[in-house]
Chain A
Amino acid sequence: AQSVTQLDSQVPVFEEAPVELRCNYSSSVSVYLFWYVQYPNQGLQLLLKYLSGSTLVKGINGFEAEFNKSQTSFHLRKPSVHISDTAEYFCAVTPPRGAGSYQLTFGKGTKLSVIP
């Protein structure tokens, strides 16, 4: 079984400042990793995903994340945030194959508030 911990439930940050949203996971097998964004009263939109290869993954809207296998982390970063980035962000994992490989296991989410 897998689990995901998002260490911060809320992150306020000033506009144009950098931001890091933290995600740690626990799994007895290798996993694929994802970050999703949810705007108010909307569905989830995929920001980026790590399947294999380079540990630095670039996504949409200027976000990137780095997979650190030794620390079992997949932190999301953006060098300069905009008001429009205000949303809730979810980290998720899934095993690449075998039992449960079609289930995404989500963290509880981090609410990013960008302050003008």
Chain B
Amino acid sequence: NAGVMQNPRHLVRRRGQEARLRCSPMKGHSHVYWYRQLPEEGLKFMVYLQKENIIDESGMPKERFSAEFPKEGPSILRIQQVVRGDSAAYFCASSPQGQNTEAFFGQGTRLTVV
């Protein structure tokens, strides 16, 4: 049973480009969470999704960021028109139900904006 898979592991984008981060949850998990880790900081919650639904996006920046979890395929975190301040590690977690007591984390995508 593979764990939470995130790709790419490393992503370099120039300012103004788009970044697409993918997350495939563990088998049997239908709940996905995205977190951002800025340098020297802990992880900050961004968004919680179930299949085809955004449940809570209270941690998402108001502009340029969006997330989806389609019926088929991985969850996608999209950042449009990236800026240097978007450089961070983005982690995805998944759980079988909407409870973080059973959440498993992926290895993260490290985004560098140049």
Which of A36, A90, A92, A102: most chain B CB closer than 10 A?
A102
A104, CB-defined interface residue at 8 Å: yes
10 contacts across the A-B interface (CB closer than 8 A): A42-B108, A43-B107, A51-B101, A92-B42, A94-B101, A102-B33, A103-B45, A103-B100, A108-B42, A109-B41
Q: Which residues of A contact B (CB under 8 A)?
A: 4, 32, 34, 36, 41-46, 49, 51, 90, 92, 94, 100-109
Known contacts: A42-B107, A43-B106. The answer to whether A102 contacts B42 by CB under 8 A is: no
Per-residue A-contact encoding for B1-33, CB less than 8 Å = 1, 0 else: 000101000000000000000000000000101
Q: Which residues of B contact A (CB under 8 A)?
A: 4, 6, 31, 33, 35, 40-45, 48, 55-56, 59, 91, 98-101, 103-108, 110
Contacts of B31 in A (CB 8 A): 102
Chain B residue with the shortest CB-CB distance to A42: B107
Other CB < 8 Å A-B pairs besides A43-B6, A44-B105, A103-B33, 10 of them? Answer: A34-B100, A43-B108, A45-B105, A49-B101, A101-B98, A101-B99, A102-B56, A103-B59, A103-B100, A107-B42
A109, B44: Cα distance in complex, Å: 12
Contacts of B106 in A (CB 8 A): 43
- 8 closest Cβ pairs, A-B complex: A106-B42, A43-B107, A44-B105, A43-B105, A103-B45, A106-B43, A108-B42, A94-B100
